[in-house]
Amino acid sequence: MTIDARRPISSLSVTAMKGATFYPEPFAQQVRGRVKKKLGDLFRLTNFGVNLTQLEPGSVSALLHSHTTQDEFIYVLEGTPTLVMNAEEYELAPGDCMGFKAGTGIAHQLANRSDQPVTYLEIGDRSPGDAVEYPNDDLKANLAADGSWAFTRKDGTAC
């Protein structure tokens, strides 16, 4: 999609990417019900990303994870997702928000355990040198200098 960066657009006109992920299999299966509109990329934002994301019933936002250098923020627009943070869970509603400070080790994800879609905004910075830990999965990710993610098992072997 080509846009004029000097004019506002309707997010409804942005093409969604259903189930698109950088996760290798079999981990990619966990986010198949996620539909993401990368609004920040559309405007060529480089310091932070903004995604308008929808979770179908039974889907999750990401694997349970924590970042070493990237701060994240979510804002619920519709639906009632469950916020999982390490061993704690919170049911969220429209208007609820949460921030995740980098380097805390607090792993998090949103899960849609309801029978209705969930829509939320997710915002994260694009800090160089970021690494992601996945406490429930044998997976680790490192952000390369070119902005791509390199995934390995926790012992460093290829996935």
In tens, the pLDDT along 29-80 reads: 999 999 999 999 888 898 999 999 999 999 999 999 999 999 999 999 999 9
Q: Considering its fold, how many domains does the chain have in total? A: 1
Cα distances from 115 to residues 37, 56, 142, in angstroms, run 22, 8, 34
Check pLDDT > 70 for residue 22: yes
Assigned domain for 158 exists: no
pLDDT tens-place string over residues 118-144: 999 999 998 889 999 999 999 999 998
Check pLDDT > 80 for residue 2: no
DSSP helix/strand/coil, 124: strand
Assigned domain for 45 exists: yes
Burial class (CB in 10 A: 0-12, 13-18, 19+), 7: exposed
- Domain that includes residue 74, residue range: 34-152
What residues form DSSP beta bridges with 57?
A: none
CATH number where 40 lies:
2.60.120.10
For the sheet containing 72-78, what is the strand order? 17-18, 34-38, 48-55, 118-125, 72-78, 97-100
Assigned domain for 100 exists: yes
Q: What pTM value is reported for the model?
A: 0.92
